Amino acid sequence: MAPLLPLSRAARLVGVARGSLQKKIRDGELHSFDGMVAPEELLRVFPGTHLENTAELDRVAQIKDRAFGKRVFERALPDKEVLAARIKEIGRELAQSRAQLDFYRGIVERLGGRLKDMAEKNGGAIMAEEIKEWLGQELGEGMDAVPATLAVRDSYLRVMAAQVKLLPSNREFFVEGNDTVLESALRAGVPLSYGCSSGNCGKCRAKVLSGKIKYLRPHDYAFTEAEKARNYALLCACTAVTDLVVEAGVATRPADIPFQQISAKVKAMDTPRDDVMVLQLIAPRSYRLRFMSGQSARVTLGGSLGAELPIASCPCEERLLQFHLRRLPGNLFSDYAFNRLKVGDTVEVEGPKGDFVLDDESTRPIVFIAWGAGFAPVKGLIEHALSLEAAESLHLYWAAQSEDDIYLPNQCRAWEDALDNFRYTPLVAGAVHSLSEGQRERWLRPLLQRVKDDHPDLGEYDFYIAGPDPLADDTRHLLLEWGAPEGQVRVGNFG
Ligand code: FES
């Protein structure tokens, strides 16, 4: 039997999201062994898999890039030395496999002769022929079918990308092009520990348990003799030449991330509506903000005007930070942002704060309900969920007073168009903010009935609700009343 495949690699080989494989495993359609899948089993469930189907893999990668607004063509081939080392490694494995194949072929041939001898001696020629035929068939299937499809494709993918497995978390991701291990982890939504990102502080150091790395960047951090002996590496400075197993800590809760202060530059200021600004900041290469999607940060403009705002981007965007600002005439922060701030200005950012973060251990389908500007943290969570590829499906409801208040409808439609497992439903709520408590509840019930009708068994989903205090909390109460488990409903109060 060919070696078992980790779930991430299996998903790549057949060109589907990891969440889709997890769903098939949960539904009993695909059998797995300790989180791994046998190639034969994968071919049984995806019989149409051919090497030529790499177009499907490219399509998925492009969809993700489009969804995150990244430039697809920025992706480069791996460093030529890395490429050469990967080809050499695969060549070595190929030679080893050939030797094994010859060995088994010899055994089969000898077995055939032996069975024939036995049949002649014992008068059981028919039975021996049957066994021989059966053996030939089995070996034909085992040694031809798998290499012809999955194994060939696997070799192709391994030249282009190496897989990294982190212990003890068992998180997996791929290193592509000239990316460092750290960059690849962040892009895949894996919150590895790091500090300077430039090889000085040593906070990204981790023990490489197996596989080969190559340093792409110079680094000043000096390893101790004990660290050298235990094969420690700086993940911000090296790439993966072969598949790696690395012992490294990942942030699993907001408390794992230290409070930081950075200076960033204004990269873009878009105004999808007159009273809304999408502010894009870019952090310096060596002082990025570490945060978890859905958290907030304090933004200070002009040296003294500050406001705490949800971060609308995902750590997978690396140095980019996005905030959504409302025009509030008379508010000094808002007036400065809309009237005086310009591209290239320096902005101070402090954070992160808050615990409205994704449960990235869960593989349940996710429902997001954003009230008005509560879309900002939800956008970060959606991008994080997309980079993880763990959730089986995502459904976004964006509720606002009027259709005009849904200020980035094209972004939501683009996700829906590009991703098979993403649904978007706008909800026009009217002047719900101005109602009294009792009236509001009566108003919300029919509006949110849509969520219940779309997802009759609320216990099967994770819910993330973001918005101003009474609306987000009222939404939570209704969902709990309708049967959503308390531990699966998370609320972020953003005014
Ligand atoms: S993050 Fe500072 S050395 Fe890697």
Residue 264: the pLDDT is 97
The Cα–Cα gap between 455 and 453 comes to 6
CA 353, 356, 361, 367 torsion: positive or negative? negative
Q: Which atom of ligand 1 lies at the shortest distance from residue 200's CA?
A: 3
Same domain for 404 and 380: yes
Same domain for 265 and 218: no
Of 150, 181, 207, the residue that ends a domain is: 150
Q: Residues 6 or more apart from 212 whose CB is under 8 A from it?
A: 85, 89, 240, 241, 242, 244
Same domain for 396 and 473: yes
Structural domain contains residue 327: yes
Same domain for 372 and 283: no
The Cα–Cα gap between 414 and 379 comes to 13
Residue 143: the pLDDT is 52
Work out the average pLDDT over 447-456.
94
Residues 339-348: pLDDT tens digits? Answer: 999 999 999 9
Which residues have C-beta atoms less than 6 Å from ligand 1? 194-197, 199-204, 221, 234, 236
Indicate whether 265 pLDDT > 70.
yes
Structural domain contains residue 314: yes
Q: How far apart are the CA of 157 and the centre of ligand 1, in A?
A: 28
Same domain for 189 and 308: no
Give the count of alpha carbons within 13 A of 484, CB side only.
23
Structural domain contains residue 73: no
Same domain for 346 and 265: yes
Q: Which atom of ligand 1 lies at the shortest distance from residue 221's CA?
A: 3
Indicate whether 106 pLDDT > 90.
no
Structural domain contains residue 358: no
Same domain for 372 and 488: yes
Q: How far apart are the CA of 180 and the centre of ligand 1, in A?
A: 11
Of 247, 270, 293, the residue that ends a domain is: 247
* Gyration radius of the chain over CA positions: 27
Q: What is the pTM of this model?
A: 0.76
> In a mutational test of the pocket of ligand 1, which residue from 181, 193, 220, 236 has the highest number of ligand atoms less than 8 Å from its CB?
236
Residue 458: the pLDDT is 95
Same domain for 47 and 122: no
Q: How far apart are the CA of 99 and the centre of ligand 1, in A?
A: 43
Indicate whether 267 pLDDT > 90.
yes
Indicate whether 278 pLDDT > 80.
yes
Same domain for 472 and 380: yes
Indicate whether 147 pLDDT > 60.
no
> In whole angstroms, how far apart are CA 360 and each of 82, 151, 385?
31, 30, 8
Q: How far apart are the CA of 205 and the centre of ligand 1, in A?
A: 7
Q: Which atom of ligand 1 lies at the shortest distance from residue 235's CA?
A: 4
Of 150, 173, 193, the residue that ends a domain is: 150
Residues 25-40: pLDDT tens digits? Answer: 878 888 888 778 887 7
Residues 71-84: pLDDT tens digits? Answer: 444 456 677 778 77
Residue 232: the pLDDT is 97
Q: How many CB atoms lie within 10 A of CB 294?
A: 29
Report the CATH number that the domain containing residue 170 is assigned in CATH.
3.10.20.30
Q: Which atom of ligand 1 lies at the shortest distance from residue 201's CA?
A: 2
Atom 3 of ligand 1, residue of closest alpha carbon: 199
Structural domain contains residue 75: no
Q: What is the domain range of residue 40?
A: 5-64
Q: How far apart are the CA of 228 and the centre of ligand 1, in A?
A: 16
Q: How far apart are the CA of 106 and the centre of ligand 1, in A?
A: 52
Same domain for 347 and 261: yes
Q: How many domains does the chain have?
A: 5
Residue type, 50: H
Q: Which atom of ligand 1 lies at the shortest distance from residue 236's CA?
A: 4
Same domain for 116 and 217: no
Residue 2 per-residue DSSP state: P
Indicate whether 19 pLDDT > 80.
no
Indicate whether 285 pLDDT > 80.
yes
Same domain for 482 and 373: yes
